[in-house]
Amino acid sequence: MNEPMNVFERRQPRGTLADDRKTRFAKLHERRSAALRESNTLEDRVERNAAQRASWSGDARAGGLHTASGVSLDADTARLKAAAAESRKPRPVPSSPPTAMTITAIILQWERNTPGYYRSAFNAENMKNFLLTNVAAGKLDWSYEALDTAYRWLDEHGYLEAAPRPRKRGDYAAGAPKVFPAFVSDAERATEDEAAHLASAQRTAREVERALAMDFGTLQRQVRGALPAYGAEAVR
């Protein structure tokens, strides 16, 4: 006589006595094996192996790139070979800057043709720093057109002062023009870095000398006072 089953029991597949005797590890292994068999059929393995073999040799390797001797290259080797070939190409020799007389003549001619530019020490300093910075970065050269570019950029961004004129009723005070950062060459920057490192080393040496000349109890109290609470506990 069949025992009455609830709705949940009727939906479950009936197990056998052998299934009941299996451990949970054996059941887990069977479920994994079944999932592997369903997702890794023979056709899938054949297709995957064929694609892998094609990537090792043939035209599919690195897009069909070969050396002069016919050796096929993988993607990484082909990229390194291209980078090495690019590095061996002759570089264009940078042109020498014009002489000081040539630059002076260009500036004088540009000032004559640019009546809107107010010739002052402040504007000249900003123009000089802008030109030196961009010439060193390779964005501009010493030319008439570079002066035009510098003038337009500085004027649009508030780095140039206007010529003085009489104040009229209703005029409002304009904001002061900004200062363009001074140009610092690589040699000057290296000198500044070296001086900063030297000053830091000297400060460290003075601290070491002071610590060595101090008795241990006083040094311990100073270190504890300088550390946060959780760090001071470690200093015994």
pLDDT at 101: 85
pLDDT at 176: 83
Residue ranges for the chain with pLDDT beneath 70: 1-20, 38-42, 55-74, 91-96, 167-174, 208, 211-212, 219, 226-236
- Cα separations in angstroms, 186 against 97, 107, 198, 199, 200: 17, 26, 18, 20, 21
Which of 50, 53, 30, 31 has its CA nearest to residue 42? 50
Which residues are CB-neighbours of 201 under 8 A, at least 6 positions away? none
pLDDT at 232: 47
Q: What is the largest CA-CA distance in the chain?
A: 118
pLDDT at 230: 46
- Name residue, tokens 């790139």: 65
% of the chain exceeding 70 in pLDDT: 67
pLDDT at 151: 93
pLDDT at 67: 59
- Name residue, tokens 């140039």: 160
Amino acid at the residue 92? P
Cα–Cα distance measured from residue 12 to residue 218, given in angstroms and rounded to the nearest whole number: 79
